[in-house]
C-alpha cells in the first residue's frame, strides 16, 4: 500500500458516499445516470468474485464489501425507492454497446484464461467506460448539480491517483499490471473535460454548465 | 517480472 493508492481508495469511497447521501437526503436521483450505476455494480461484482476465496488484507476485504453493498444500494434507491425521480428520458445510453465489447476484449486480452481472471479483466475494461452514460446524461441535460459534480470529481480523481500508484509501484516494487494501467489511463482521460469544467467553474462557485 | 497471481488492488 502507498499513499497514492490509499488516497485514491478514500476518494473512491468518498464518491460513493456523496452519491448515496445525495440521493438519500434529496430523496431524488435527478441528474444521476442509473445506467452508470448498474455498470458499477457489474464492475464490483465481477471484480470481487474472489471476495470469499482470496484474503489479501482486512482493509481489502472490508473495502470490497463496502463497494459491492453501496453500489447495489444505489441501484436499488434509483430503480426502486426513488424510481419516480429517475430521469429515464435523458439516461438513454445503450450500455450493451459497452458490456459486449468489454466482454469480448476480456476474452481476447487477459493475463490468464480462467473464469476469475477473465471476469477481473472484464471488470477493468468495463470500469474504464462505466462513467460514459453519466457524462452523456450531463451533456444532454447541459448541466449538473454541484453535489453531482463533486461526486464525479472524487470518482475521477480515484483512478487518476491510481495512475500515480502504478508509477510508484513500478519504480519501488518493479510491479506493473499493463491491463489495469491502460484501462486506467482511458478512464482518467474520459474525465479530462469534466475536470477542466469542474476546476474552472464549480470551484469558483458557479454551476457546472456544459457549453450547449 | 512475474505476473502477480492475485490482484492486491481494489
ipTM of the complex: 0.90
Q: With an 8 Å Cβ cutoff, are B7 and A176 in contact?
A: no
List CB contacts of A31: < 8 A, sequence separation 6 or more.
A87, A137, A138, A141, A144, A145, A148
Give the gyration radius of chain B's Cα atoms.
Answer: 7
List CB contacts of A208: < 8 A, sequence separation 6 or more.
A138, A143, A144, A146, A148, A149, A197, A198, A201, A202
pLDDT of residue A158: 98
- What percentage of residues in chain A have a pLDDT greater than 70? 100
Q: How many CA atoms lie within 13 A of A107 on its CB side?
A: 5
Q: With an 8 Å Cβ cutoff, are A5 and B9 in contact?
A: yes
**8 A C-beta contact, residue A11 and residue A158:** yes
Does the pLDDT at position A64 exceed 90? yes
What is the overall mean pLDDT for chain A? Answer: 96
Q: How many CA atoms lie within 13 A of A7 on its CB side?
A: 11
List CB contacts of A173: < 8 A, sequence separation 6 or more.
none
| DSSP codes joined into one string, A10-74 | HHHHHHHHHHHHHHHHHT--TT--HHHHHHHHHHHHHH-GGGTT----HHHHHHHHHHHHHHHHH
Instruction: Mark out chain B residues that contact chain A at CB-CB < 8 A.
Output: 1, 3-4, 6-10
* Option in A9, A112, A177 nearest B10 (CB): A9
Cell 435527478 found at: A30
Q: Rounded to a whole number, what is the distance in Å from the CA of A175 to chain B's nearest CA?
A: 8
Q: With an 8 Å Cβ cutoff, are B8 and A177 in contact?
A: no
Does the pLDDT at position A192 exceed 60? yes
Q: With an 8 Å Cβ cutoff, are B1 and A180 in contact?
A: no
Q: For residues A113-133, give the mean pLDDT.
A: 98
Amino acid at each position: 500500500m502507498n499513499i497514492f493508492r490509499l488516497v485514491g481508495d478514500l476518494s473512491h469511497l468518498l464518491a460513493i458516499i456523496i452519491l448515496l447521501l445525495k440521493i438519500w437526503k434529496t430523496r431524488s436521483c435527478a441528474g444521476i445516470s442509473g445506467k452508470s450505476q448498474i455498470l458499477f455494480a457489474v464492475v464490483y461484482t465481477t471484480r470481487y468474485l474472489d471476495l470469499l476465496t482470496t484474503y489479501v488484507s482486512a482493509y481489502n476485504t472490508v473495502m470490497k464489501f463496502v463497494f459491492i453493498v453501496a453500489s447495489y444500494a444505489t441501484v436499488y434507491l434509483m430503480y426502486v425507492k426513488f424510481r419516480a425521480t429517475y430521469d429515464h428520458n435523458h439516461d438513454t445510453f445503450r450500455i450493451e454497446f459497452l458490456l459486449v465489447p468489454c466482454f469480448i476484449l476480456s476474452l481476447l486480452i487477459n493475463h490468464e484464461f480462467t473464469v476469475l481472471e477473465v471476469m477481473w479483466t472484464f471488470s477493468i475494461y468495463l470500469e474504464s467506460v462505466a462513467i460514459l452514460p453519466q457524462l452523456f446524461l450531463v451533456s444532454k441535460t447541459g448541466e449538473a448539480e454541484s453535489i453531482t459534480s463533486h461526486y464525479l470529481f472524487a470518482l475521477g480523481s480515484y483512478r487518476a491517483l491510481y495512475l500515480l500508484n502504478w508509477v510508484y509501484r513500478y519504480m519501488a516494487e518493479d510491479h506493473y499490471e499493463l491491463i489495469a494501467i491502460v484501462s486506467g489511463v482511458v478512464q482518467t482521460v474520459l474525465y479530462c473535460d469534466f475536470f477542466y469544467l469542474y476546476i474552472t467553474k464549480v470551484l469558483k462557485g458557479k454551476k457546472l454548465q456544459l457549453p450547449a | 517480472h512475474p505476473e502477480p497471481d492475485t490482484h492486491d488492488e481494489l
